[in-house]
Amino acid sequence: EGQWVLMATGRSPTNIAVIKYWGKRDEALILPVNDSISVTLDPDHLSATTTVAVSPSFPSDRMWLNGKEISLSGGRFQSCLREIRKRARDFEDEKKGINIKREDWEKLHVHIASYNNFPTAAGLASSAAGLACFVFTLGKIMNVKEDYGELSSIARQGSGSACRSIYGGFVKWCMGKKDDGSDSIAVQLADETHWNDLVIIIAVVSSKQKETSSTSGMRDSVETSPLLQYRAQTVVPSRVLKMEEAIKNHDFESFAKLTCADSNQFHAVCLDTSPPIFYMNDTSHRYVLAVHWLGILIISLVEKWNHSEGTPQVAYTFDAGPNAVLIAQNRKTAALLLRKLLYYFPPEDKDLSSYLVGDKSILGD
Ligand code: PMV
């Protein structure tokens, strides 16, 4: 057997939920208590890039995240590896003399290197991009031919929100009804060209790792928050329908109202959890205390602005961390928003280029 190495690289962007997933009905399979809807970001700015290498000379599966080796022994990585290996197919590259039969994949080990081009675990859904990319790239190298729905249900077992990063554009994760999770998959509602006037600005107010992981936070909310039950059963089902309509019709007013309301209800569920979870602040560190104010102030800035204009200009949403995700209807409002943010929260360093990643030309609008 020749000592060959086969490699594949993939890239997956992160996604931002506008109707949040919070709470599992099955922890092992990662089945949610409600549907959720997200926007997948542009891959240039917030994405994971993963390279998988396979070689008969590798004695075990190994993984590096941002250059540091991490353990693959966790149940979630193992579920994804197992599910992809199960669906692996024959692969042949005559020129390189590589011929892998589907049953060989069980014995072949992988080396995986993944990079995030944004802060890991700061509430920017790094696990969504990471696990989607993990599954997608493994599937690519192992010649898996399953459709995206099936891939999404494998990514879901790595990290719930990852199932939505399999697609671009607007994506819905259908909670499903079955106990085995086979119908808990993501579907694309509209592709990335559908509503491409929207501009998403992420105010990274802290790149510190969050203190309460979404896994333990969700578990505590499911066990203790009466609001979570009400939200999942009564509020989200009709909100999801309204959000789908808003997206279909490019109805920004409705989109913005639903997005802000859902973010606020998700954080209300966190507060309703015992002990309460505060994702928008962190009182244990002085530095992050300032961030708390920033998060709350960004909400009040946007609320005041939307109120004074009579119709929403910008939507805000916060995940399990203090960073604000702001969605503007078009470039013009995005440029105005950026100026407001920089005016009210001036960065210490006046060299803006060191703060802005992505399309800097927006400041000129
Ligand atoms: O997929 P997880 O375990 O990282 O959970 C993500 C939960 C939220 O980001 C807060 C909401 C969502 O729907 O993405």
Q: Is the CB of 269 under 6 A from ligand 1?
A: no
Q: Is the CB of 105 under 6 A from ligand 1?
A: no
The residue with greater pLDDT, 164 or 41, is 164
Q: Give the C-alpha separation, 72 to 78, whole Å.
A: 7
- Taking the CA of residue 319 as reference, the ligand 1 atom at the shortest distance is 10
- pLDDT value of position 293: 45
| Look-up of token digits 């005559």 | 94
Segments making up each domain of the chain, as ranges: 6-190, 199-364
Q: How confident is residue 347, by pLDDT bands cut at 50, 70 and 90? A: low
Q: How confident is residue 288, by pLDDT bands cut at 50, 70 and 90? A: very low
**Cα 290 to ligand 1 centroid, rounded to whole Å:** 24
Q: Is the CB of 319 under 6 A from ligand 1?
A: yes
- Other CB atoms within 10 Å distance of the CB of residue 211: 16
Q: Which of 95-109, 206-220, 228-242, 351-365 has the lowest mean pLDDT?
A: 351-365
- pLDDT value of position 286: 28
**Cα 46 to ligand 1 centroid, rounded to whole Å:** 16
**Cα 215 to ligand 1 centroid, rounded to whole Å:** 9
Q: Is the CB of 125 under 6 A from ligand 1?
A: yes
CATH number belonging to the domain at 199-364, selected among 3.30.70.890, 3.40.640.10, 3.30.700.30, 3.90.1300.10: 3.30.70.890
**Cα 219 to ligand 1 centroid, rounded to whole Å:** 13
Do 253 and 204 form a contact (C-beta atoms < 8 A)?
no
- pLDDT value of position 283: 33
Q: Tell me: the pLDDT tens digits for 7-40?
A: 999 999 999 999 999 999 999 999 999 999 999 9
Look at the alpha carbons of 255, 23, 175, 138 in this order and tell me if their dihedral is positive or negative.
Answer: positive
CATH architecture of 6-190: 2-Layer Sandwich (3.30)
By alpha-carbon position, which residue is closest to atom 6 of ligand 1? 161
Catalogue the long-range contacts made by 56-59 (C-beta closer than 8 Å, 24 or more residues apart): 56/1, 56/3, 56/4, 56/108, 57/3, 57/5, 58/108, 58/109, 58/110, 58/111, 59/109
- pLDDT value of position 348: 63
Q: Number of H helices and number of E strands within the chain? A: 9, 16
- pLDDT value of position 320: 85
Q: Is the CB of 165 under 6 A from ligand 1?
A: no
Q: What is the pTM of this model?
A: 0.91
The interface predicted TM-score of the complex, written ipTM, equals: 0.99
